[in-house]
Amino acid sequence: MSLSDRIETLAQWMNQSSKTVVLTGAGMSTESGIPDFRSSSGLWKQVDPRSVATVEALLHDYDLFHEFYTMRMNHLATCKPHEGHKLLAKWEKKGLIDRIETQNVDGFYQAAGSEQVDELHGSIQTVRCQACGTAANKERFFNKANCTACGGKLRPNVVLFGENLPEDSWVSALQHMKQADLVIVIGTSLEVYPVNQLPTMTKGKTVYINKGLDRPFHSFDLVIEGKAKDVLQRINEHL
Ligand code: OAD
């Protein structure tokens, strides 16, 4: 099947579907200028996640932890949602998609106007105390200040390796996957558990959109090779 045929097929499925769920990863935001994790220019090619993105790092090497997340938060402030994020918001308003399940922490879906979003790996836009959970403002984190309530260390509200996913979001994701009759997976390597299990939990049709298909995705009903923004724009022409 040609690329155009695949895009037309997906648009048809979307038009016919009564419940469509979109599952996204870092590849959805690379065209906004945010690096992903496992591509050749990905963050985990430059730094070992164990040294910066774990509770151990937070507790035992706070300087490095703080430097890594400050760098990401400052960079994020210079980026914005792209046309693909805006299309997802438009499709939600038109009733073409029901929910976004995302591993991304950038908040770009909501910034682009989507309301039905589960942030499965949390958000880098907000900060809390590691010890008591009290919310804090970003400035205090940037200044390496401690929690005003208990003096604990501040951290962004992202999920670190070894931590559980936010329960509400995970329960919501499971429900939406079970009820979906179409699941569109965009820009994720599907290497990280448990989110990588979600596409197997639907009885609906499954679609995988990625800029590079470095391994076969036989389990999907439809695979589309292309960049997220471009593919979403092309789908939009058929909706
Ligand atoms: P990865 O970096 O593992 O995968 C990103 C995927 O997006 C790759 O398969 C790329 O080929 C693809 N990609 C990149 N740019 C794209 C584009 N413009 N259009 C389409 N596809 C593109 O990122 P995730 O799968 O999101 O977790 O990683 C999952 C989790 O691992 C992250 O949430 C993060 C990380 O460790 C935590 O930090 C807990």
Indicate whether residue 29 lines ligand 1 (CB < 6 A): no
In the reported structure, the alpha carbon of residue 161 is separated from the centroid of ligand 1 by a whole-number distance in angstroms of 15
121 is catalytic: yes
Give the closest residue (by CA) to ligand 1 atom 6. 188
What is the chain's pLDDT, residue by residue, as a tens digit (239 residues)? 999 999 999 999 999 999 999 999 999 999 999 999 999 999 999 999 999 999 999 999 999 999 999 999 999 999 999 999 999 999 999 999 999 999 999 999 999 999 999 999 999 999 999 999 999 999 999 999 999 999 999 999 999 999 999 999 999 999 999 999 999 999 999 999 999 999 999 999 999 999 998 766 778 999 999 999 999 999 999 99
Residue type, 82: H
pTM: 0.97
The phi and psi torsions of 7 (rounded to 5 degrees) equal -65, -40
Give the integer Cα–Cα distance in Å for 145 and 175: 39
